[in-house]
Structure 1
């Protein structure tokens, strides 16, 4: 039976029957979809230049979806966003998105730091940012929009199309979404908060899909009750803010945590040498001290991804932003970079910990924060 006969039999008017019968299902086979997404990835994926992370994410921060960076205050979420902003402005042959593109950076806590962007330019790509004119050109293409409440946030999202088109925006960053929501809604307004979050998530996904751009949002963590299941290392347990429904709206989740050498089966004695190996640049003198103290060790985890397993890396915050540590098991050959294996990594993790959105932190967080790079 044809579509026309089915719709007519079900009692639709002749006009509706004509309209529905003219509609055809737009379909693609898996090979066509693979080729299309591969071509999109070459144009729109934002490389982090952390080659192991990029390998697991199949190129970098993906377009057409929401990537969330979640962690405690001061752990390095904004630092990673600054780093991604600078990298996006690089030429395409240098791993960026092009010198004619822009980054739209929505900031909610009045903490945007242009001086840090300047430092990252000269540290991340000194050969390209060889003079202040090039640095100034990059800063001109990182467009900062201050948002202080949910109404301003919604207004910015609803009017973002003109900005994206006129300024050729290739990356949208929201730092941080939790700061906007938490200060306006308490537990007595959960239904209103959830409605707003659903609207925000829907709008962000439409923007990402319409313009094929990576969207990066930062999120905070909140403590959970002691009655919940304990973490493997008996640390204080926290959960990503904004609830379960929001967590399912996120396509890719990257968790940043404070960490210790013991978490990676590394001796404290060799951490300074690992930091030196991992953070030394081509322009750095061999007798220079490591860029950051031992106490600044972090753990970066791909906690949710459609293309990657749950996997963790030790990292530090340096002048060049986030840097993955090169421990012997983490120094990958070219073979394993193109086909990375979770067996190359030394941290044993519980995948259910992250699917349940649980994040562990050191019990004495205030002492750890004093040792931050920023």
Structure 2
């Protein structure tokens, strides 16, 4: 109800009549609302219109339109490139603009690096795999990694891409809006009030929440599982609402917990945090992991092979997704970001 832009007199009448949800308004007819709130018919019409505008609704599409690929823009699923051909291949073109995409992984696996890379790629034109828009980056753990962001921006590869596809004087760092949130209440307030206004005013095309697990780490005891699940549901609902209305990718970073099971002799099983209460809201889950193995020089690009730094082997695993097969793609991280490795090149040492 906080999203309604109505006269305080109407909001006061709703509160007095104890109608405090959108479904409560939609379940009553015009005359019933007038009797319950003592509002005029004109005020009831304004109320119903305002509530209807807040409810996400998709246009109807006929089978003939689907056959002709005549789909309204709001139903067209857009894909955001990762900036790496091999990773895009594993993700069937990139991150989709439908539902919540979760990037989970252990510490130092590259979760934040991945999000920074996507925050830059989204600014590219659509013909280059971007969405020609800005990013809202919500930090809940540490300070925003400005140093690493500018290291990626100043890398030779990133500079050449933006110089080729953007105007002179364009700086990618100016198009990432950072918000720091410390607790669950602050996060819900931002998602309900500030973020929708920010998206409507500008050309935001990507939302990153880094991370969802941090705000739930210490706030709930073992006896408060119901309240925890309720707050998780509220956060997921707001994110899905924004995704449906604005057709933009939503990225949520998550932590993992170690399992007693082992995937192989060298790797243990990692389970994303927050359990089924959160997993049921996730559309696509991507799991990142790291190893202690160094990538051989022959598997690296010519530029990285000349570097003196050691590049550690990491894995990107698609756990589930409505459009993705279950795959595992090796990758490494250099100054310009994340880069996939060909499985053919790693066959002898993975």
Name the TM tier (shorter chain).
0.7 to 0.9
Structure 1 residue ranges without an equivalent (≥5) = 1-12, 17-24, 262-267, 281-286, 331-344, 349-374
Is 1:271 matched up with 2:303? Answer: no
Q: Write the distance in 2 (CA, Å) between the matches of 1:199 and 1:30.
A: 37
Question: 2:224 pairs with 172, 182, 189, which one?
Answer: 189
C-alpha spacing 1:95/1:113, structure 2 compared with 1 (3 Å):
same
Deviation at 1:209, TM superposition (A): 0.7
Q: Please show how residues 44-63 of structure 1 align to structure 2 within 5 Å.
A: 44-63=78-97
1:252-267 alignment runs, 5 A limit: 252-259=284-291
Which of 239, 247, 250 is the matching residue for 1:215? 250
Give the corresponding residue for 1:355: none
Flag the 1:238–1:327 CA change in 2: closer, same or farther, 3 A: closer
Specify the alignment match of 2:7 in structure 1: none
1:125 aligns with 2:144: no
**Contact 1:80/1:321 (<8 A) preserved:** yes
Alignment of 1:289 onto 2:307: yes
Q: Displacement, 1:70? A: 0.2
- Distance in 2 between residues matched to 1:38 and 1:317, nearest whole Å: 38
- How far apart are residue 36 of structure 1 and its match? 5.9
Please name the residue that 2:130 is paired with: 96
Per the normalisation by structure 2, the TM-score is: 0.73
Q: Distance in 2 between matches of 1:135 and 1:116?
A: 21
Q: Note if contact 2:257-2:273 (Cα within 8 Å) is conserved in structure 1.
A: yes
Aligned residue number for residue 35 of structure 1: 69
Residues 260 and 312 of structure 1: CA distance in aligned 2, closer, same or farther (over 3 Å): farther
Residue 179 of structure 1 is matched in structure 2 by 214
Shift of 1:39: 6.0
Q: 2:326 corresponds to which residue?
A: 310
Distance (whole Å) between structure 1 residues aligned to residue 330 and residue 109 of structure 2? 13
Match of 1:156 in 2: 190
Which residue is equivalent to 2:265? 233
Change (3 A) 1:245 1:89: same
Task: Note closer, same or farther for the CA distance 1:49–1:306 as it changes in structure 2 (3 Å cut).
Answer: same
1:183, distance to aligned residue in structure 2 (A): 2.4
Structure 2 CA distance for aligned equivalents of residues 93 and 304 of structure 1: 27
Report the counterpart of residue 175 of structure 2 in structure 1. Answer: 141
User: What is the RMSD of the two structures over their aligned residues, measured on CA atoms?
Assistant: 3.4
Q: TM-score, normalised by structure 1?
A: 0.69
Q: 212-221 or 115-124: which moved more? A: 115-124
